[in-house]
Structure 1
Amino acid sequence: MTADSQASANSGQWTIRKVLEWTTAHLKKHGSATPRLDAEVLLAHARKCHRIQLYTHYDEELTEEVRASMRDLVQRRARQEPVAYLVGEREFFSLPFSVNADVLIPRPDSETLIVEAISCLKPTPADDTASVASRAWRIVDLCTGSGCLAITLARQLPTAQLIATDLSDKALAVARQNLERHSLADRVELRQGSLLKPLENEPLFDLIVSNPPYIPTADIETLEEDVRRHEPRLALDGGADGMDLLRPLITEGAKHLLPGGWMLLEFTSEQAPALMNYAHAQPDWSLVQVVKDLSQLPRVLKLQKRS
């Protein structure tokens, strides 16, 4: 909120209620799709409290320190800076992850990878989650970014050992921070490199997961402004058709899997037919399937290596 906006507003205290109302209207005017949620998250961050506490202290006047912090956050959000970067955190699969502009912001659609991974590792339909968790699975997460996939799988599968790779050293620094945050540095090894290269001379894996860059280059400019301007292009741009990284994974991934092992790849729904055709043309896969996300859109390519 600017000095002019404060002066033009009706005189009175800047309570939590008033700041939320003003910020919601301001962010809506500047194109936010979720202005009320943005306002609540930003104010909770400025006030260093949980969102629910905003409503239990609804008529409390904000201190000048909190108002100054909120002014800066609102101005930056109005310039389309993502809320997750402003507060430095995003939740994924009910776990908190530190994020900054060096990594893609975790999204709910990617949780489909976690659900499918656990499903794939069940040896028979009769096995429950506890039996899956007791196995010493070997898993690799390619293009790990913030590390949210590897860390979530490590939490869900307490005896699994994981390797997480990324081309970006800055992204790996964020992943390392999240490993320390979740006390998993002893179970998830970080490696720098492109796609499968960091896995040379490694024993075979039970599972490969990846959320690689898959947006077609020409489509980058059509993305929402906060994504286009602020999220790392390296984590978005998948080449002319968005499949520059998906194709080599489909072609070469089976070489790094045990017989019957699985590979799960995230993609955008428009790529489903081309990816299915490409995967079916590879001799290493006994199963080729597309899995839908919570919005019922094709989201994950599910491949199983021949036994």
Structure 2
Amino acid sequence: MTLREALIEAANQLSSASLTPQLDARVLLAHVLGLASSQILARFNEHLEAEQAAAFQALIERRSALEPIAYLIGSREFYGLTFNVDQRVLVPRPDTEILVEQALTWIKQQNRPLVVADIGTGSGCIAVAVAKHAPNIKVYAVDLSPAALAVAQSNVERHGLHQQIQLLHGDGVSQLPEPIDLLLSNPPYTLLDEIDRGVRLHEPTLALDGGPDGLDCYRQLLPATATILRQGQPSAALFEIGAWQGPDVVALAQASFPHASIQLVRDLAARDRVVQIEQA
């Protein structure tokens, strides 16, 4: 079977499971062959070895069962960086890059060493992306899942940031050893019965389930954040939210931070995506 024939057959198999069957097939075949996706087109007439064909078919079957591409190839691009990912962590989403952008903007406005916390770090993508672009900060990356922290550790090492990022096992802010200048979090906020079936089947529930109304983590994190943010100097907190949650999370933030500046930041699709809290 040639690469072209394998791609056509795989795309047909994936047509009912994916909105981008041709792209998925090409990415998975490139992964099996150890090539860049763009190189596949130039090799259409080459033949697959039996072992390669079997490995490719196994990945196509997993993708047909709605398993995310990132898990199948073991990595995901986020904020221009490559991260190790597997079933132990949520797949990083482009929407979360807005949180990183806002964090880096705030960091650049400060003229002092900063301590940053990433609560619910998962793969470590937020902590790593921020630390990579702000080399003078110290970051605590916290997660309740030891399995997720193992993935985060691999990404800290992958990007050479072990001197900047300290991983902590714990729930919320309880393990933070000192006051924080900037707190970041992409907490679980989804309603499990409303999310994509593939996400529900394969990605960790602990990183997704926001409770009956999607607000459970904000109810816990916002009051706790008010106790850990540094006083006497500017400090801030940034929380990713679902596009429908803006007014509710802002109201919760106002209750915990009655004297702070609170704003909603929209993503590239003009949907509410981040609640930003700043206090002097």
Please state which band the TM-score falls in when normalised by the shorter chain.
over 0.9
Instruction: Quote the residue 1:282 is aligned against.
Output: 256
Q: Select 1:227's aligned residue among 182, 199, 202.
A: 199
Q: Distance in 1 between matches of 2:43 and 2:216?
A: 51
Structure 2 unmatched ranges of 5 or more: none
Greater CA drift, 168-177 or 285-294: 285-294
- Once superposed, which parts of structure 1, at least 4 consecutive aligned residues long, lie more than 6 Å away? none
1:212 counterpart residue number: 187
Match of 1:23 in 2: 10
Shift in Å, 1:238? 1.1
Equivalent in 213, 218, 223 of residue 246 of structure 1:
218
Match of 1:3 in 2: none
1:155 CA drift (Å): 0.5
Structure 1 or 2, whichever has the larger Rg, is: 1
C-alpha separation between the residues in 2 aligned to 1:242 and 1:236?
A: 9
Q: How does 1:45-60 map to 2 (within 5 A)?
A: 45-60=31-46
Matched, 1:63 2:49: yes
Distance 2:9 2:229 in 1: 54
Residue 37 of structure 1 corresponds to: 23
Corresponding residue for residue 142 of structure 2: 165
The answer on whether the counterparts of 2:185 and 2:239 sit within 8 Å (CA) in structure 1 is yes
- How many residue pairs end up in the alignment? 278
Assess if the C-alpha contact under 8 Å between 2:121 and 2:143 holds in 1.
yes
**d(CA) in 2 for partners of 1:184 and 1:78?**
36
Q: Contact 1:285/1:304 (CA < 8 Å) preserved in 2?
A: no
Q: Work out the CA distance in 1 between the residues paired with 2:67 and 2:252.
A: 37
User: For 1:245, what is the secondary structure of its paired residue?
Assistant: helix
How far apart in 2 are the matches of 1:283 and 1:74? Answer: 49
TM-fit CA distance, 1:284: 4.8
Q: CA RMSD in A?
A: 1.5
Q: Distance in 2 between matches of 1:32 and 1:187?
A: 39
Deviations 1:207-246 (A, max 9, x none): 1100111113xxx123212101000000000111111111
With normalisation by structure 2, the TM-score equals: 0.95
List aligned pairs for 1:1-307, cutoff 5 A: 14-29=1-16, 31-123=17-109, 135-199=112-176, 202-216=177-191, 220-258=192-230, 259-305=233-279, 307=280
Deviation readout 1:69-112 (Å, 9 max, x if unpaired): 10100011111111111111111011111111110000000000
Q: CA deviation at 1:285?
A: 4.4
Q: Normalization by structure 1: what TM-score?
A: 0.87
Deviations 1:238-271 (Å, cap 9, x if unpaired)?
A: 1111111112222221222223211000110111
Residues 13-32 of structure 1: CA deviation (Å, up to 9, x unaligned):
x2222222221121013x21
